[in-house]
Amino acid sequence: METAIRRPNWLSRLNAVWAPPAVLDFWLSRLNPLWSWGHARARVIELHPEADGVTTLVLRPNRHFRGFRPGQHVTVGVEIDGVRYTRSYSASDMPRADGRIRITVKTVEGGKVGAFLQTIPVGSVLSLGQAFGELCVPDEPAPCLMLAAGSGITPLLSLVNAQAAAGFRRPVRLAYWARTRAQLVQAEALRAFASRHPNFKVHFMLTGEASQAADELEGRIEPRHLTTLLSGDEQAHVLACGSYGFVERVREVLGDRCLSFRAEAFSPPPRVIDASDQGHVRVTLLKSGQTLDIPRNKSLLEALEEQGVKPRHGCRMGICNTCACGKSSGATRHLHDRSVQHEPTQALRLCIQAAQSDLSLEL
């Protein structure tokens, strides 16, 4: 693993008097881009094309990265044409002894960061957030049904690899939806697991091509698929990952066939904005001393960015907590369920809250 600067606490305190960490980080990164006084960074050491528009990056983090659990995500930061961007990606493999982490990146239409990462030179250094996310396989030994659509496969690959390392001690079935065969990621590795472990089965669900192989089925998820995935009146712990629409459809189709249901969507639910969300409010940024007028019909993150303020952010959909900041006063409205919060908080997520009244924020 590459170098990060480790220092005892007394040295941190002394340093805080001598020079702010941001200044030290600047000079350390001039000596070696991976060096930092306190921030996780990672060097890109391998790139593996996986499928149409999909590439896996192998990253070697510095010692500030605290590791991850299968199913978790990390926030990656890159600079493109002088502008800093951050995006969240799932780890696509389980943790390994060498500390390396794999993320699998897909190009999306108009998406700058995905396209940039797919051709990033080996040796480049990225900033890395600490891992987050709660998707996991429950401990009870009941069957586990994993359902993935498109990029939703990445955290499930990490979980399948972890189950494989443990010898598939419980029945695990994976159904993986893609439009075409060429878009499937790690199909052969999954087939290899299935051929070696009777407790693991994989089904590739194609929505834009006819099925050909014995482990392929056609069509979007519907009740008839359950008879293939679950035998008789069998129930399973279900993990689902895909777009918001996919996850909601899975929930609907499964009904009461699951012992537990854990899901992660990589797209947010539709935002509920109505005619009453008009006008502007005054936002006071307590740390910078700025006062701004922002619209009530946008997320606080978007509204602040339009005014030239650049809060830290990652997923932009309320998962990673990167954008959380304190709110000392005022009311905000949740953009997904329209609930209104009047109380002061330390953890207001700017990407999924809109201003309801004048606000004071710890920014």
- Report the residue number, 102 or 313, with the smaller CB distance to ligand FES: 313
**Rounded to the nearest whole angstrom, what is the least distance from the CB of residue 87 to ligand FES in the complex?**
10
**303 DSSP 8-state letter:** H
In DSSP notation, 51-120 reads: ETTEEEEEEEE-TT-----TT-EEEEEEEETTEEEEEEEEB-S---TT--EEEEEE--TT-HHHHHHHTP
The answer to whether 188 and 159 have CB atoms below 8 angstroms apart is no
**Rounded to the nearest whole angstrom, what is the least distance from the CB of residue 121 to ligand FES in the complex?**
27
Residue 182, token pair as written in the block: 């060429």
CA 231 – CA 145 distance, rounded (Å): 12
Q: Is 114 an interacting residue with respect to ligand FES (CB under 6 A)?
A: no
Residue 285's DSSP bridge partners are 290, 361
Question: Which residue among 185, 221, 241, 351 contacts ligand FES (CB under 6 A)?
Answer: 351
Q: Is 314 an interacting residue with respect to ligand FES (CB under 6 A)?
A: yes
3-state SS assignment for residue 43: strand
Q: Is 319 an interacting residue with respect to ligand FES (CB under 6 A)?
A: yes
Residue 310 CB partners (closer than 8 Å, separation 6+): 304
Closest CA to 326 of 287, 356, 295: 287
Question: Which residue among 91, 193, 349, 359 contacts ligand FES (CB under 6 A)?
Answer: 349
- Report the residue number, 316 or 327, with the smaller CB distance to ligand FES: 316
Question: Which residue among 281, 283, 315, 354 contacts ligand FES (CB under 6 A)?
Answer: 315
Torsion of CA 271, 276, 282, 284, to 10 degrees: -40
- Report the residue number, 133 or 143, with the smaller CB distance to ligand FES: 133
3-state SS assignment for residue 195: helix
Question: Which residue among 34, 241, 323, 325 contacts ligand FES (CB under 6 A)?
Answer: 323
CA 78 – CA 83 distance, rounded (Å): 8
Q: Please, how many CA atoms are within 13 Å of residue 352, restricted to the half-sphere of its CB? A: 23
Residue 234, token pair as written in the block: 């069998």
**Rounded to the nearest whole angstrom, what is the least distance from the CB of residue 37 to ligand FES in the complex?**
24
Q: Is 70 an interacting residue with respect to ligand FES (CB under 6 A)?
A: no
Candidate segments 8-16, 64-72, 214-222, 315-323, binder of ligand FES by CB under 6 A: 315-323
Q: Is 333 an interacting residue with respect to ligand FES (CB under 6 A)?
A: no
Q: Is 321 an interacting residue with respect to ligand FES (CB under 6 A)?
A: yes
Question: Which residue among 43, 73, 106, 313 contacts ligand FES (CB under 6 A)?
Answer: 313
CA 235 – CA 144 distance, rounded (Å): 9
Number of residues that bind ligand FES (CB under 6 A): 12
**Rounded to the nearest whole angstrom, what is the least distance from the CB of residue 321 to ligand FES in the complex?**
5
Q: Is 316 an interacting residue with respect to ligand FES (CB under 6 A)?
A: yes
Q: Is 151 an interacting residue with respect to ligand FES (CB under 6 A)?
A: no
**Rounded to the nearest whole angstrom, what is the least distance from the CB of residue 201 to ligand FES in the complex?**
34
Query: Which residues contact ligand FES by CB under 6 A?
Result: 313-316, 318-323, 349, 351
